[in-house]
Amino acid sequence: DAPGNWYFEASFPLQVRDKDGNVIGRSYAMAQTDWMTTDQVEFTGNVTIDSDYTGPAVLILLKDNPSGLPEHDDSTEFDIFIK
């Protein structure tokens, strides 16, 4: 789940970064319920890795920020392992 205010038009960006911080995958998460709320909203998303990288990585959920203003940025990270 992600906060409703992270979504814009029912989606928010996803990134996968390798152990060196290089972006190796990008995609979008899509809301599965009403996203126009301040409550938590379920989402689904798939990220395809752009290389043959295997090993530790980070999945990053990024608050969609159409304004581009840094004070509206937010994110959360999860350690993952790519096989």
Residue 24's identity, in one-letter code, is I
Q: pLDDT at position 20, please?
A: 96
Q: pLDDT at position 50, please?
A: 84
Record the pTM.
0.92
Q: pLDDT at position 5, please?
A: 95
Q: pLDDT at position 33, please?
A: 95
| DSSP-based three-state secondary structure for 36 | coil
Q: pLDDT at position 51, please?
A: 83
**pLDDT tens track for 24-82:** 999 999 999 999 999 999 999 999 998 899 999 999 999 999 999 999 999 999 999 99
